[in-house]
């Protein structure tokens, strides 16, 4: 058995389905950022343990959630719009029964859905570290957080599911409008502090978090990257095989990249005119 922690803020729409997917666990925690809807009542009625903390950043909030008094040694981290299928539970329990010391995390493939369509080809980063040994992992980076694990990380078969469009396109765009502002500010910070990125690490690092960090840093410097990203997703990753859903998702991701470009230019101009 393993514990589950779900991070929430006004998740009355998605939380019931998430809780239903983990009703096999007797140690489910809902870590809430003072929701004003029915999130807390839904969690309590489902038998979850609720803890509330004022939100002060994505990484800091997740790190606070990882410090909860979990019943079990292993913890699965979920967002409310995610689900754990029953077959993944069986895979995890079989793996944990044979896990040796030194392995402190597991990377699991996530299936993203647009409505009911699995974005099998369009999805860019399918593997995420979500199952960790208690006290052996910490989040870094305030947007698209990176979870760094102390020790070895193994890769598991199976999937957990993600429904990023469960609240509609408007919600997705509003959220990514905020994310793009944070990404632009992060780029300015790295630019001003002369942060260096390594192509060698971006291509060959065995540390997934380090590899992703350097990939994003280098990609940010490429002109017209929103157009490159669209063609990369449509042609190289064959998003067109996902049909209309794949093309829609690739276009939304390109728009998100363009938001970051525009906001970065705006911040650079503002700093120049100071």
pLDDT digits (tens, 9 = 90+) for 191-224: 888 888 898 888 887 666 677 778 888 888 899 9
Kindly state the helix (H) or strand (E) to which residue 77 belongs, with its residue range: strand 74-79
Question: What is residue 144's predicted lDDT score, i.e. its pLDDT?
Answer: 65
Distance CA 52, CA 43 (A): 12
Question: What is residue 48's predicted lDDT score, i.e. its pLDDT?
Answer: 98
Mean pLDDT, range 239-252, rounded to an integer: 98
Question: What is residue 210's predicted lDDT score, i.e. its pLDDT?
Answer: 73
Which residues are CB-contacts of 10 (< 8 A; sequence separation ≥ 6)?
A: 35, 36, 37, 39
Looking at the chain, the whole-number percentage of residues with pLDDT higher than 90 is 76
Q: Is the pLDDT of residue 140 over 90?
A: no
Question: What is residue 206's predicted lDDT score, i.e. its pLDDT?
Answer: 66
142: pLDDT confidence band, cut at 50, 70 and 90? low
Q: Is the pLDDT of residue 29 over 90?
A: yes
252: pLDDT confidence band, cut at 50, 70 and 90? very high
pLDDT in tens, 156-177: 999 999 999 999 999 999 999 9
Residue that is written with structure tokens 């017209």 in the block: 224
Question: What is residue 271's predicted lDDT score, i.e. its pLDDT?
Answer: 84
Question: What is residue 103's predicted lDDT score, i.e. its pLDDT?
Answer: 95
Distance CA 3, CA 89 (A): 11
Q: Is the pLDDT of residue 126 over 90?
A: no
Q: Give the residue range(s) of CATH 3.90.550.10 domains in the chain.
A: 3-162
Question: What is residue 209's predicted lDDT score, i.e. its pLDDT?
Answer: 66
Domain topology for 3-162: Spore Coat Polysaccharide Biosynthesis Protein SpsA; Chain A (3.90.550)
Judged on CB neighbours under 10 Å (0-12, 13-18, 19+), 101 is exposed
How much is the mean pLDDT over the chain?
A: 93
Question: What is residue 208's predicted lDDT score, i.e. its pLDDT?
Answer: 64
Which of residues 57 and 31 earns the better pLDDT score? Answer: 31
Which of residues 49 and 199 earns the better pLDDT score? Answer: 49
Distance CA 114, CA 200 (A): 34
């Amino acid at each position: 058995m393993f514990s589950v922690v779900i991070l929430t803020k006004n998740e009355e729409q998605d939380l019931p389905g998430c809780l239903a997917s983990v009703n096999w666990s007797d140690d489910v925690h809902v870590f809430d950022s003072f929701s004003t809807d029915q999130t807390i009542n839904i969690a309590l009625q489902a038998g979850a343990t609720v803890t509330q903390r004022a939100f002060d950043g994505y990484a800091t909030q997740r790190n606070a959630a990882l410090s909860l008094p979990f019943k079990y040694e292993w913890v699965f981290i979920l967002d409310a719009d995610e689900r754990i299928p029953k077959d993944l539970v069986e895979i995890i329990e079989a793996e944990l029964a044979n896990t040796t010391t030194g392995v402190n995390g597991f990377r699991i493939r996530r299936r993203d859905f647009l409505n009911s369509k699995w974005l099998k080809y369009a999805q860019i980063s399918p593997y995420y570290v979500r199952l960790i040994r208690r006290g052996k992992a910490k989040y870094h980076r305030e947007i698209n957080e990176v979870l760094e694990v102390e020790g070895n990380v193994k890769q598991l078969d199976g999937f957990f599911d993600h429904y990023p469009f469960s609240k509609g396109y408007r919600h997705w765009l509003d959220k990514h409008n905020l994310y793009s502002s944070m990404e632009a500010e992060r780029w300015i910070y790295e630019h001003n502090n002369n942060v260096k990125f390594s192509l060698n690490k971006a291509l060959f690092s065995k540390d997934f978090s380090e590899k992703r960090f350097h990939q994003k840093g280098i990609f940010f410097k490429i002109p017209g990257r929103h157009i490159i990203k669209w063609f990369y997703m449509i042609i190289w990753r064959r998003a067109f095989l996902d049909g209309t859903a794949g093309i829609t998702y690739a276009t939304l991701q390109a728009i998100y990249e363009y938001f970051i470009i525009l906001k970065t230019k705006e911040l650079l101009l503002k700093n120049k005119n100071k």
